Amino acid sequence: MKPTVAVAISGGVDSLTAAWLLKEQGYPVIGVHFITGYEAGPHAGQGIGQESGSPDSRVDAARRMLRPVADRLRISIEILDGAECFQAEVVDYFVNAYRTGQTPSPCLVCNPALKFGELFRFSRKLGARQLATGHYARVERETDGRVHLYRGLDPAKDQSYFLARLSRKQLGRSLFPLGEMTKSDVVALARKNNLFPVTEGESQDICFIDNGGYGKFLAGQAGFTPRPGPIVNMDGDVIGQHRGLHLFTIGQRRGINCPAPSPYYVIRLDTDENCLVVGPRKALFSSGCRVSEINWIGPPPASSIPVSVKIRYRHPAVPATIVPTANDAAVVCFGQPQEAVTPGQGAVFYRGDEVLGGGWIIGEETGNPT
């Protein structure tokens, strides 16, 4: 008999189809649902503050939402209220990143810590040996225990970038049933089998930000105080005022509002002086970057290796060379200068379709790393 698999059920079409496929393959399936505290509803976007409802009310609301899904799939769906964990591990990280002038990537934190961490531990208590999700990615295991992560078949939906910081152990107990499918295949299969999602739209990178936007969200967080300050050009001349560095990221054009013959772009966030440094687009290009806290899925390289690298999720992977400076740190030298290298974002390394690992961008690299 096949081992019991827990499927992370969000209520969207991807997770429903993943559960249906595993049942068709003969796996005993348990559904598990993680409450973040930021779900849609009368208290949407409020996290676990006093107005967000009690844990019992959050669990009851999730059960009501998912009851049609459980009935259609003929599985039980157990609820984990992870609101406190989500606030501490993801939201606080997000806020602190903006406070220090970085642009965070919450899914790269959430997946290893919560979805494949806390939620898997919850699933183990229910008797599951593996955790499946609706990610568009592929994982392969060798008989000697080595594990490999690959891009999903559908290039438009590939989510391997967001899984690059999973440990080998986490990948070894993960299943991605949609990895060999396209999104259109998934939607067609769901319709054919009456798998109707109970949540609307596609999942988003920043699931806890509503239509009010980042600025409003951050300003509403405890201890976060927007600090207005000067906008300066690359010569250090003050040309305007900003309402807070948290409203900007490197490469941004919108919101600078300083008249000039050609548009200004955000070049750097100077948190020490609370200055927004702006300049022409050509100043955004960098020949390389420094990356720290790298999670290597296989053994770390002992010397320089050619790779392709993504410096954010929507960035196409580009040729580069990794020059290790420690087991978990490296300088990445781009084959061609890249635009808007942004501290706080994830740099994910590929060899063909295989994900080698990923770490955090901590700054540009303009010199010779050797």
- Tell me how far apart the alpha carbons of residues 90 and 113 are, in angstroms, rounded to a whole number: 9
Residues 122 and 233 occupy one common structural domain: no
Residues 295 and 268 in one domain: no
Q: Residues 2-43: pLDDT tens digits?
A: 899 999 999 999 999 999 999 999 999 999 999 999 986 544
Residue ending a domain, among 261, 279, 297, is 279
pLDDT at 201: 61
pLDDT digits (tens, 9 = 90+) for 128-145: 999 999 999 999 999 888
The two beta strands, 229-232 and 275-279, are: parallel
Q: State the total domains in the chain.
A: 3
Based on the domain organization, do 52 and 126 belong to the same domain? yes
Task: Determine the Cα–Cα distance for residues 106 and 178; give it in Å rounded to an integer.
Answer: 22
Q: Are residues 84 and 66 in the same domain?
A: yes
Percent of the residues in the chain that have a pLDDT greater than 70, as a whole number = 93
Q: What tens digit of pLDDT does each residue of 204-223 get? A: 568 899 877 888 899 889 88
pTM: 0.92
Note the pLDDT tens digit of each residue in 279-292: 999 999 999 999 99
Q: What is the pLDDT of residue 369?
A: 56
What pLDDT was estimated at residue 120? Answer: 98
For 282, the 3-state DSSP assignment is helix
Residue 32 placed within a domain: yes
pLDDT tens profile 157-198: 999 999 999 999 999 999 999 999 999 999 999 999 999 998
Report yes or no on 214 lying in a domain. Answer: no
Task: Residue 298: give the domain boundaries.
Answer: 285-364
Q: What is the 3-state secondary structure (H, E, C) of 150-216?
A: EECCCCCCCCHHHHCCCCHHHHHCEECCCCCCCHHHHHHHHHHCCCCCCCCCCCCCCCCCCCCHHHH
* Residue 238 shares a structural domain with residue 91: no
From the list 111, 213, 96, the residue with the least C-alpha distance to 160 is 111
Residues 92 and 155 placed together within one structural domain of the fold: yes
Q: Is the pLDDT confidence value at 278 over 90?
A: yes
Instruction: Please compute the mean of the pLDDT values over residues 117-121 and round it to a whole number.
Output: 98
State how far the Cα of 47 lies from the Cα of 87, in Å rounded to an integer. 7
Residues annotated as part of the active site: 110, 207
